[in-house]
Structure 1
Amino acid sequence: MSDRKKFWTLRYIIINATYFAVYSGIHAYASVFLLEKGFSNTLIGITLALANILSVIFQPIVAGLIDKQGKLTNRNVSMASTALLLIGSVLLLLIKNGTVVIFLIFALIYMVQMVYQPIITAMYFEYEAAGCHIYYGLARGLGSCGFAIVSFFTGRAIGWFGVNILMILDIVFLSIALVVLFFFKKPVVDIPAQTKTEVAHNNLISFIKTYPGFMLFVLGAVCFFFAHNAINDYMIQIITPLGGNETNMGIAVSCAAFLELPAMALINKIMKKISVKNLLLISGIAFFIKHLLMLIAPNMVVVYISQAMQMFAYAIFIPAGAYFVNQTMARLDQVKGQAYINCSITLGGVFSSLICGRLLDVKGPHFMLIVSVIVTLAGLVIAVVALKGLSKHSTRNA
């Protein structure tokens, strides 16, 4: 890797690592924080569901504004989002009680962080096109490692210092991110003039008509992440009948997160041998195997094996999905494409939250996993149909 590439990659690594470190505090420990603030489980569910639904609405809207190639850029939106998260974290640290205020602030920062996640990905392709060569897979993989490391130590830190340590850590990481983003300026280059044939499809119906195969794949991905989120959200309920506990859960979650790095870091080399579409199919198959193993697991060993499939499922899907958008979308639609990929993850989580909790209460974890496996299989069938019928968009401007 050249020194120049190392320079851009290092800063992009910091942007990813700080993002996912904060993601740990806001998302992974959301229930822990809100319970301590007096929220009931029902209110926590409402808070997170509302934030997720709002993020699904706003992700394509914000992406559409960026795609217009005006003053609103990926970097500017990332900086503004980081600043909002920083302000929100400070307020949550200072506010000792007040359920309504905490509800509003937490839902807002949860939503904002989801909205600008695909923008970080889109920023890579924007900078790469401008000659700022970045090792995307390595940066994204180290972001996952940042999440795993921070999540592991945060649990202990909460025991020592209380839940406010979550906001303190977020403030530190967000401050670092804001400084790095401020100096992460793309070189001035001649941007290809928009041709008469280039049209930004900001309307959802227009976007679906233009990219029907892509949107069908997004539907399949929603199914993948329905089950993926169900397992992540209800891991403790799944492993308790198998003799597992919180320690085993921590091992399982950390194992999955750390194993994302090799696949993500090597994605560029992998793509030289396997097409992006085939990689997405492989990830879909891996999701199905992962969820099936979780269903039939008789003990924690098989649970760990299931979690290890993260290397071929989520770890392949995320970078392959990003490159998939870049290869199939016209230039003025690429940020929206990244947003819709991220929306599939979010929507899967929304449906999982609304359905799987009830299934768990009524039928138990085994039945919930049966439903999850069936939904994953349906998603795999949809993805196969979508990807087989998909051809590269003819107007794409590389």
Structure 2
Amino acid sequence: MPSVRRLDYHYMAMQIGFWAMFAAICAYQAALLTSRGFTNAETGLLIAVRCLAGIVCQPALGSFADRHPHTPLRLIVSLALGVGLIAGVVFLLCPMGMAGTMAVLILMGGFEITSYPLMDAMAIQFIQKGVPIRYSLGRGVGSLAYAVCCVALGLQVTAWGVETTLITHAVLTALEIVLVITYPVCPVEESAAGPAPAPHSALWLLRQNPAFALMLLAILFGLTGCLPMSNFLVNVVTSRGGTAGDLGIALFLMAGFELPTAFFFQRLYRRLGGGRLLLLSMVFCFFKALALFLSPSLPFVLLSQPLQMLGYGLFTPTSVYYVNDSVPPEDQVKGQTLMMVASNGLGGVLGSLFAGSILDLGGPNAMLLFCMACCTAAALLALLSLKMSSRSAT
């Protein structure tokens, strides 16, 4: 077994690399696509297709990883990131219309988004063996990396244009592949009592645990309302008198305020549990949409960003631990992929589709009203899931 210090710091480095890479493609994706002549509705469709590709790819790779426990997860993740890297380079070098852009984003979304839950599982494997990897802190420094990268991207876009973000994405993806492929492999122990239980299907998991299935539905609504506030933050910023350069500052504050959550997350989780924390995160996503809606100018948009700390910042580590506590051990990877499908997958698809169209029809305030409605539905469904869990426990 590798040393705890190496596993811990190496995992933090992977989180830093992934979220910096993710910022390079996601933070300015709306600005990039509109600069290439796409409308807000078309941009929303393209972002949705990118997320939809992750929905299709994640369960397939998750099931493959569950069925082949002797295949190192680092190999699967590295290959997935390699496909995303090649697609990103093609996107940079080859001008293309709607069909070509959609094809490239399908590859980038399908494999880059899929790599994250599998990368999480690389740490969870060691955590389940008693290795005290500080997952929530790793996710927090990842958010900080996203924030810093957004500021750097804002300066880069101002100086050299939005197209150069694709160069940054390619470089950071290559570095992340190096970090992933060098992460230690968790040893697979053969049980003396016989072979481990076979993994179940995703449908079996949802049928056997209706409270878990209902919480996934709540998260679907919640992320449908939450993700447009980052994907289309450029529209909110410019509508309040800001510029594309100011977007970098807003994104820095948004991601930076996810870091403090890492320091008190474990205490909150022990006190409240995963279900209550997920409910709390949906409530604060609503408050953030409300604060942005009421913001009369750019400074108020910036002052709204601390709400990210108990909104999406709380959701991310909680969702991983919630799955770990709700799903049988043999289905851990599949459970994490189902969570990612419901949140950044389907939530990203529906949020991008609806938000892009609503922006064209009614502007940023109409989009924020839509976000508030989705987060309200999410909170109600999460509350119902908690009641269902308490009834089944008794």
Classify 1:236/1:164 alpha carbon distance in 2 versus 1 (closer, same or farther; 3 Å). Answer: closer
Identity of aligned residues (%): 25
* Count of matched residue pairs: 390
CA-based RMSD: 2.8
Q: Which amino acid aligns with 1:49?
A: A
Q: How much has 1:298 moved relative to structure 2?
A: 3.8
TM-score normalised by structure 1 residue count: 0.87
Q: Is the 8 A contact 2:284 2:310 kept in 1?
A: yes
Q: Deviations over 1:196-240 (max 9, x none)?
A: 8934222x4322202211111111111111221222233343344
TM-score normalised by structure 2 residue count: 0.88
1:1-398 alignment runs, 5 A limit: 4-35=3-34, 43-93=42-92, 95-99=93-97, 100-163=99-162, 165-192=164-191, 198-202=197-201, 204-345=202-343, 346-390=345-389
In structure 2, stretches of 5+ residues that fail to align are none
Classify 1:5/1:392 alpha carbon distance in 2 versus 1 (closer, same or farther; 3 Å). Answer: farther
Q: Is the 8 A contact 2:53 2:109 kept in 1?
A: no
Q: Deviations over 1:43-63 (max 9, x none)?
A: 544432222212112212211
Classify 1:372/1:86 alpha carbon distance in 2 versus 1 (closer, same or farther; 3 Å). Answer: closer
Q: Is the 8 A contact 2:140 2:260 kept in 1?
A: yes
Q: How much has 1:327 moved relative to structure 2?
A: 0.8
Q: How much has 1:339 moved relative to structure 2?
A: 1.2
Classify 1:375/1:88 alpha carbon distance in 2 versus 1 (closer, same or farther; 3 Å). Answer: closer
Q: How much has 1:381 moved relative to structure 2?
A: 0.5
Classify 1:101/1:281 alpha carbon distance in 2 versus 1 (closer, same or farther; 3 Å). Answer: closer
Q: How much has 1:176 moved relative to structure 2?
A: 2.3
Looking at structure 2, the residues matched to 296 and 43 of structure 1 have their Cα atoms a distance apart, in angstroms, of 27
Q: How much has 1:98 moved relative to structure 2?
A: 4.1
Q: How much has 1:35 moved relative to structure 2?
A: 5.0
Looking at structure 1, the residues matched to 77 and 259 of structure 2 have their Cα atoms a distance apart, in angstroms, of 23
Q: Deviations over 1:3-53 (max 9, x none)?
A: 943321111111111111111122222244445556565554443222221
Q: Tell me, what secondary structure is at the counterpart of 1:275?
A: helix
In structure 1, stretches of 5+ residues that fail to align are none
Looking at structure 2, the residues matched to 7 and 268 of structure 1 have their Cα atoms a distance apart, in angstroms, of 21
Looking at structure 1, the residues matched to 279 and 34 of structure 2 have their Cα atoms a distance apart, in angstroms, of 39
Q: How much has 1:251 moved relative to structure 2?
A: 2.8
Q: Is the 8 A contact 2:26 2:231 kept in 1?
A: no
Classify 1:330/1:373 alpha carbon distance in 2 versus 1 (closer, same or farther; 3 Å). Answer: same
Moved more, 96-105 or 81-90: 96-105
Classify 1:196/1:365 alpha carbon distance in 2 versus 1 (closer, same or farther; 3 Å). Answer: same
Q: Deviations over 1:62-92 (max 9, x none)?
A: 1122122434442221111122223333434
